[in-house]
Structure 1
Amino acid sequence: MLFTTLFVLAPLVCIRHLDSLELSSAISVGLAVVFVVVTAAIFMYKLAFGTVSTPQLFPTFSADASAILGLFSVVPVLVTAFICHHTIHPVLNEMRNESDHKKVVQFSISLCTALYVMTSAFGYLLFGEDTLSDILSNFDADLGVPYGTVLSDIVRVGYALHLMLVYPVLNFSLRLNVDELVFPRAVPLTYDNRRFYLVTCCLTSAAFLGASFIPDIWDAFQFTGSTSAVCLGFVFPGAVVLRNRRHIFEGRGKKLLAWFLILLAAGASIMAITGDIYELFE
């Protein structure tokens, strides 16, 4: 992991402009498609030979508190998957044609939704009740298909590369926001090499430590989804609508919708955090 951080992530996160990451971003999307294609192919093969078990299509509901709170623990993970608000503005700022902004956002969200749905669907159909929170762990076992070891390696290596190529884009917007928060009156980050590398090094080190000590990716998604992701996706947009400094969002309906989003996000976040605490002390 240290080698990957120093010789793969470090050069990518030191890039100062998003347009220089277009090739790596395209490759990351292609690797996500490869993951879906391989998983679907394995499922189709096992389905044709009748070696795949029928998964449970509907959840089992019960009055148990842990089961009810467990439903809310899924919400933060789903919210995290669609949080892209912090990368939209840097991407749009580097686009030449402003008329394409809306199309780019719509296409990106549609593509991500399609990949998420197909990944979850084929993954669950393939592994059923044995599906783990980190689906890559399911590929450690024998898949029961010809060249199963090779296919497992393709999936695991491909998805690992996908994550490494996605991280620099997320780090780009995070670095800008952290810099403006810590150094609000400083010159733009692009013109200060010392500050640029200092912030980049701190963020990369924090990510490395988190990846080293967090035991399960599900825990990370639950925590970030019930806190920062909820704020970015619902609370902050709702607050912007309510403040309405430029008088863009007029009308009682929009304000009611903004309040609804804020209260819904706060309620879901509280329930998710309560569920996590309940599981710790159960």
Structure 2
Amino acid sequence: MADSLKKQDQQSKMTTDRTPLLPSKRQDMIEEDVYEDYHEASVPSAVFNLSTTIVGAGIMALPATMKVLGLPLGILSIIIMGFLSENSIQIMLRYSRPSGARSYGGLMGDAFGTLGRVVVQLCIIINNFGILIVYLIIIGDVLSGSTGGGEHYTGVLEEWAGGATWWNERTFVLFTVMVVILLPLVSLRHVDSLKWTSALSVALAVVFVVVIAGVTMWKLVAGEIVWPRLTPDVYDQQSFWKAFTVIPVIMTAYICHHNVHPIANELAGTADSSHETMKNVVQWSMFLCGTIYLCTATFGYLLFGEATSHDILSNFDTDLGVPYSHLICIIVRISYAVHIMLVFPLLNFSLRLNLDAILFPRATPLAHDTIRFSLVTGFLICCIFFGSAVVPNIWIAFQFTGATATVCLGFIFPAIVLLKDKPLLATKSDKKQAVVMVILAILSSVVAVTTNLFNLFEPGKPAGLNGYFLH
């Protein structure tokens, strides 16, 4: 008996209440063994990793939302969506604590059983897989150029070479980026291993904001900035409904819910202390990203006015009318491409975890199985690469995932977990807020999908702003 108790005590010392990036199966509720190479993450690294998850390609579509809504309403919408997103994440953390959930799937599984767990995993797979393909397409566009509508947009490498060559050809460039940069990053097994690349990614986003702000201020002093429109651009029924389609764009810009649990699981400290720490991490990350979003949207719209593109990056392929304009455009495009590369592995983490959970629900934890980890990682990398090569433009398809799976992950699922209220934690005020979140998400999704369908089947109509539902 004494030997048995001693053995149990030794085993308890070998375990921890922190779980690594790849939590266990069986509803993602149980603890995992500590890895030899595992160390607990700090608050700054958690803030950088969560902020990098938030600030993706969606930042490029935000100035265009100002063009549709007008400056005051656009700024207000970004602030409101930031608060709603933070609230939805806090709901997830609040209900994960009593259930012991170590993943988004585990949280939904505790509230709604196996069906809830599988549904949220499928939504994460659809959302992340689509975004990663788009990321790779954007990297290819920036480095190798793109052709659309009979017009060719020159890539950075193409400009440097003075034309198309074998080494700046799109397929070769994407293959090189995947093998040399992305594959080593996605092979890391812990979120905290990416703290420095995440810090660099956030810094590049800040550089982008500083460049836009600097150019805008220069042109303001020179008197070359046109006074911005202050009211929504509504002139008929179609433009009225189009104004509502920007809501999923802003919603999607804040989506990071699929990586909240993996980042929280690696925080240092006990379960109770890390829960409180993660709440602060979310607040700091949302404040940082909200500030970046407000500055980018405001200065971007002021700089380009009604000429603001749906993807503001495309506005940086011409003369900006300031000194060193060409150099500034090169810096913006290169920094953006590198930023996307550094966001890529964070989205791949949760994609890999949820795909493995669906394919191998009874298997040992993925992080314990090197062969399966390598096979799943390699399979995803190949699918993403071939997806970006076979489907050179997926804006039309991706706008539907942005208005469905993405909105579900960010707003509907956390709200219905609160409405279910299995541990009886919610107040009447909480439930009212949850109902508002569900109604807002459903209405915006229905309007966006309906408008997208009309645009898709109406001859000669471009995808419009809806085509940029990017995280």
Shared topology, TM-score over 0.5? Answer: yes
CA–CA distance in structure 2, aligned partners of residues 202 and 270 of structure 1? 34
Aligned to 1:134: 311
Aligned match of 1:46: 219
Q: Deviations 1:200-251 (Å, cap 9, x if unpaired)?
A: 223333433454425375x4663332111111112111221132233333x4
Larger radius of gyration: 2
3-state SS of the aligned residue for 2:290?
Answer: helix
Number of positions where the alignment pairs a residue of Structure 1 with one of Structure 2? 279
Task: Report if aligned partners of 2:205, 2:292 keep a CA contact under 8 Å in 1.
Answer: yes
Task: State the match for 2:265 in structure 1.
Answer: 93
Distance in 2 of aligned mates of 1:130 and 1:196: 46
Aligned-pair CA distance for 1:197: 2.0
Letter in 2 for 1:92: A
Pairing partner for 1:247 from 399, 424, 440: 424
Instruction: Say if 1:18 and 1:91, in contact at 8 Å, map to a contact too.
Output: yes
Deviation at 1:130, TM superposition (A): 1.1
Residue pair 1:77, 1:222 contacting (<8 A) in 2 also: no
Partner of 1:258: 434
More helix by share: 1
Q: 3-state DSSP class of the match of 1:150?
A: helix
Q: Distance between the aligned counterparts of 1:253 and 1:107, measured in 2?
A: 24
The alpha-carbon deviation at position 42 of structure 1 amounts to 0.9
List gaps (5 residues or longer) in structure 2: 1-173, 459-471
Are the structure 2 counterparts of residues 10 and 235 from structure 1 closer, same or farther at C-alpha, using a change threshold of 3 Å?
same
**One-letter code aligned to 1:68:** F
Alignment partners' CA distance in 2, 1:232 and 1:256 = 19
Task: Give the conservation status (yes or no) of the 8 Å contact 1:74–1:222.
Answer: no
Give the conservation status (yes or no) of the 8 Å contact 1:32–1:159.
yes
Specify which of 215, 220, 233 is matched with residue 393 of structure 2.
215
After superposition, residues 1-282 of structure 1 pair within 5 angstroms as: 1-64=174-237, 66-97=238-269, 98=274, 99-212=276-389, 213-215=391-393, 219=396, 222-249=399-426, 251-282=427-458
Check the 8 A contact 2:259/2:350 in 1, yes or no. yes
1-side partners of 2:254 and 2:387: how far apart? 21
* Residues 28 and 162 in structure 1, CA contact (< 8 A), matched pair in contact too: yes
Deviation at 1:7, TM superposition (A): 1.3
In 1: Cα distance, 2:230 partner to 2:202 partner: 28
Distance in 2 (CA, whole Å) between partners of 1:256 and 1:56 is 34
Closer, same or farther in 2 for the Cα pair 1:45/1:211, shift >3 Å? farther
Distance 2:400 2:421 in 1: 30
SS in 1 for 2:404: helix
- Whether the aligned pair in 1 keeps the contact of 2:255 and 2:406 (CA below 8 Å) is yes
Say which SS state the counterpart of residue 246 (structure 1) adopts.
coil
| Aligned residues with identical type, % of pairs | 48
CA–CA distance in structure 2, aligned partners of residues 116 and 149 of structure 1: 24
For residues 279 and 145 of structure 1, the distance between their equivalents in structure 2, rounded to whole angstroms, comes to 37
The letter for the 1-side match of 2:268 is R
The CA distance in 2 between the partners of 1:244 and 1:170, in whole Å, is: 29
Question: TM-score, normalising length from structure 2?
Answer: 0.56
CA RMSD, aligned part only? Answer: 1.9
